[in-house]
Amino acid sequence: MLSTVTGGQWFFPLIIVCLILGIVAIIAQKKKLTKLKRITDNFAYAILVILLIIEWILYFQKQFNFITPAIYTLVVIYLIGRQLLTRYRSSLLKKLGSKYKQLTIGLATIYILLVALLLLIGSKFSTLGWIIAGLVIIIFSFASYIIEKAKQ
């Protein structure tokens, strides 16, 4: 049963590692251990990039269609972009002023629409694909709105 849930030998240990990283990151953030938080963040991003490379290798070996690695690539680019915007927030606020918020909203909107478009292409524009894309747009927009409200 475990192999059915995990999809092989590597997925379940990866979930465990990600859970441990998440717990360590939360503890580091609560106790204000910035060095430990930075280490866990960098390790998590390294895992993301390694998985991205694996996704593209599997695509070129014809084990995946194009949509799977493309969506994953967009997710990784968005996460890294958000991290960079967060890290350089103060300097960007000085340079851009009120346009910084428009930039973050614009980038989130573009990201949401690209993921929805890739889902539509992957589903060959079927009715179910339109429904899923609509739900993704609503859920991601709501999550983005909540994240932006929490930062204010």
Written as six digits, the tokens of 80 are: 């890294």
pLDDT in tens, 26-55: 888 788 888 888 888 888 888 888 888 888
CA distance 43 to 21: 8
Q: State the pLDDT at residue 55.
A: 81
User: In the chain, what percentage of residues exceed pLDDT 90?
Assistant: 0
Q: What's the rounded mean pLDDT across residues 89-115?
A: 81
Q: Global pTM?
A: 0.62
CA distance 59 to 16: 25
